[in-house]
Structure 1
Amino acid sequence: MRVIEAFRESFGAEPHGVWHAPGRVNLIGEHTDYNDGFVLPFAVPWGVTAAVALREDDAVRLRSLQAGEPVFLDDLGRAEGWARYAVGVFWALREAGHPVRGADIVIDGDVPQGAGLSSSAALEVVVGTALDELYGLGLSRMEIAKIAQKAENDFVGMPCGIMDQAASALGEEGKALFLDCRTLASRNVPFDLAAHGLQLLIVNTGVHHALADGQYARRRRDCESAAERLGVDALRDVTDLPGALAELTGDERRRVQHVVTENHRVEAVIGLLRAGAVQEIGALLNASHLSLRDQFEVSCPELDVAVEAAVRGGARGARMTGGGFGGSAIALVADDRVESVRQAVTAAYAERGWAAPEVYPATPAAGARRLA
């Protein structure tokens, strides 16, 4: 295993273990997590692998096989860039009162670049999973996800919900994760695409627009101010959508319309999956994309073209996935239409002079676990 070889080269010792945590793709339920709503992600086959050994001091030494030279930190607050996601977990565990000291860590990631499949959450969760086991903390998978979210919210400074970390920690092979982001109740829902002659294609645009800088936080503020105006704790509590929309204008009105209808779409998809009607979820994926494009305004031309071309090419449904402004779209496609969808998307990009996107299938994979 190359991460073990790299650990030996970097630190001249053997790791105490090797762990893996996956990235995620969200089937449906976008920008609902921080509104106490519902999400339906699943873990993907790609993620972050970490070889870890504990230290007797409080320092953290990090090396990423994708980022060059090791980083030595005797003060966690000096961490920069990708290292903040890893050392933030140490900080969050210490803040929670856990007796966590230092460690040497080598990480190796294979999440496709620019795909928006949450490599940051995978990094947080793999570090949290390793430290939980090595220190015998006895944390549940959801508690590890919450520690990882705290690291990202309060140490990195990204006000994300808990969906990405929960999917990475709790995912199961062949299943999607239904998560109530208020109660954190979760259950795995069978999502066996092959049994229904289907594939879920990821269309990785590879683009990330600078427009997105600060836009996530702005969307969250829109939702919070709308909830306050409507007198509810979170937009998940809106039960009379027409009445709510009548009280709001502008951005707040559009954000509420998306969040409330997206929660209903998640519940509808779960109902179809439980009934074995996997092929019928396509229309809900299409509706989700239109809502994200027009009401939440987080799409971009590359995502819109990918979705429209996939549907023209024969996909049963498609939508952007993730935070938006780039990253990936997903398309639900029958086995015999995969090539036509791939060609349609590639041709649509070529017509606009854009670089061809990567298109590949994603199957629900296992969550965080020890490898060695």
Structure 2
Amino acid sequence: MQFIDLAAQYQHLKTRIDKRIQNVLDHGQYIMGPEVQELEEKLAEYVGVKHAITCANGTDALTLALMALNIGEGDAVMVPTFTFFASAETVAYAKATPVFVDSDPSTFNMCPVDLEKRIKTVLAEGRLNLKAIMPVDLFGLPANYPEIQKIADKYNLKIIEDAAQGFGGEINGKRAGSFGDIATTSFFPAKPLGCYGDGGAIFTDNDEYAELIKSLRVHGKGTDKYDNVRIGMNSRLDTIQAAVLLEKLNEFPKELTNRNKVAACFTQKLDGMLRTPKTPEGYISSWAQYTVVSEKRMEIMSLLEKNGIPTVVYYSTCMHEQTAFVNCIDLGLYPVAESFAKTVFSLPMHPYMADASVNKVIDAFKKDFC
């Protein structure tokens, strides 16, 4: 059994993907070819925003968003502590300070209550210029943007949505990638919408941000590519990756339906044996991972491995505990996030998961834990 079966997906889309790649090989425009513009238009349409700007990877997407908002030394950005390293890394790379926020115990995402508490602490200390909030759509579920937006408006802060795992998720019909001032995503192969290499994208309704990001991703170029009007970076999506993503995006709605069917089956059968993930009313998750909670994590993972069922832990070390952030601003304890780091693990999840594989996971739990 595969944890994420990319080979099954490729076999399903093989004829279409191969044809797309062959078209790129035929026209030879490997960098910023026509497929890139086509993909950007279709991504913007799918997400429901005016602008989608592709780039080399999801980490660069966050960096470009921070650059567009002119966030740098002396500034602070609120970031969840229970997430992948890139979220806080890009803030530090911009020479700004990541300020960590505890998790919501019901969703794994940034806790709005803890967020406001820590914003007040930072403002009271007066050492940093608080500029933005960077929520993460963890495991495929959008963060609580209705509440986070209220807090951002109250304190005049920008929102950068990190939808690297959340592409395809929704809140009341509004799709991930459309929240806040700027949103980003990743096309890393294991993501809900992934390419066959690396890639990323930035989403916004702001025309000024969009034009700035388009310049920044290509060395800060002006109207003439040899007239660079600002310091930027080299972060372009390869045309072949855009070609792959075009076919995957066409299939994505069906895949999202399949992911939700697998998740619903797991939740129905496993709830009670361990803590299963819950989707709040009005939300849709893209199920980047199906993550459960148990105090017996290591015992369960070991038994599942013996049954040929792979599992993965995301994330065993919180951001505030990482060596790189040992000297970061200390705002006290993070009890919920630290508990998750010790108890969460993820089960196999992908849109081509056969019923037999789903049942195998469920039967293993029934056999060993009932």
Normalising TM by the smaller chain, what interval?
under 0.3
TM-score, length basis structure 1: 0.23
TM-score, length basis structure 2: 0.23
More strand by share: 1
